[in-house]
Amino acid sequence: MNKNILLCGVGGQGIVLTSKLTASCAMAKGLDVMSAETIGMAQKGGSVFSFLRLGEGIHSPMFGQKQADILIAFEPAEAVRMLPYLKDGGCAVVNMHPIKPVTASLKGSDYNGDEMIKYIAENVFETYFVDGDAMCRELGSPRVLNMVMLGQALRTGYLPFTVDDAVEAMKKTVKPQFAKLNEVALRYSAG
Partner 1 sequence: MHKEFLMGNAAIARGAIAAGLRVICGYPGTPSTEVLETTAKNNDGSIYVEWSVNEKAAMELGAGAAYCGARTMVTMKQVGLNVASDPLMSLEYIGVKGGMVIMVADDPGPISSQTEQDTRHFAAFSKLPCFDPSSVQEAYDMIQEAFEYSEKYGTPVFFRPTTRVCHGYASIEVKDKEDFAVCQPEGFVRDPSKWVIFPRLSYNAHMHIEKRNAELSDVFSGYSRNIVTPAQNKDCRKGIASHGISYTYVQEALEGKDAPAVFKVSTPFPFPEMAAVKFLTGLDEVLCIEELDPVIERELTYVCGKYHLPVRIYGKLTGHVKTAGENTCDSVAANIADFMGWEKPETAEPENVPELPVRPPVLCAGCPHRASFYAVKMAMKGKKSVFCGDIGCYTLGNAMPLDMVDTCLCMGAGVNITQGIGKIEPDTNCFAFVGDSTFFASAITGAVNAVYNQADMTLVILDNSTTAMTGHQPHPGTGMTMMGQVVDKVNIEAVLRGIGLKTVETVNPLELDKAIDTVKRVSAEKGVKAIIFKSPCAVLIKPEKPVTIDPDKCIQCRKCINSLGCPGIIIEDGKVAIDHALCTGCKLCTQVCPVNAIGGECNE
Interface residue list for partner 1 (CB under 8 A): 10, 20, 23-24, 27, 32-37, 39-42, 44-47, 57, 59-67, 77, 80-81, 83-85, 100-106, 108-111, 115-116, 119, 123, 142
Nearest to partner 1 of 67, 156 (CB atom): 67
CB of 3 to partner 1, least distance (A): 14
DSSP state letters, 68-96: EEEEEESSHHHHHHHGGGEEEEEEEEEE-
Nearest to partner 1 of 44, 157 (CB atom): 44
Nearest to partner 1 of 24, 95 (CB atom): 24
CB of 103 to partner 1, least distance (A): 6
Contact, 130 vs 93, CB < 8 A?
A: yes
CB of 92 to partner 1, least distance (A): 13
d(CA 128, CA 91): 8
Q: How many C-beta atoms surround the C-beta of residue 115 within 10 A?
A: 13
Q: How many C-beta atoms surround the C-beta of residue 64 within 10 A?
A: 10
CB of 57 to partner 1, least distance (A): 8
d(CA 121, CA 15): 23
CA atoms within 13 A on the CB side of 168: 12
d(CA 111, CA 82): 18
Nearest to partner 1 of 59, 157 (CB atom): 59
CB of 24 to partner 1, least distance (A): 6
Nearest to partner 1 of 110, 157 (CB atom): 110
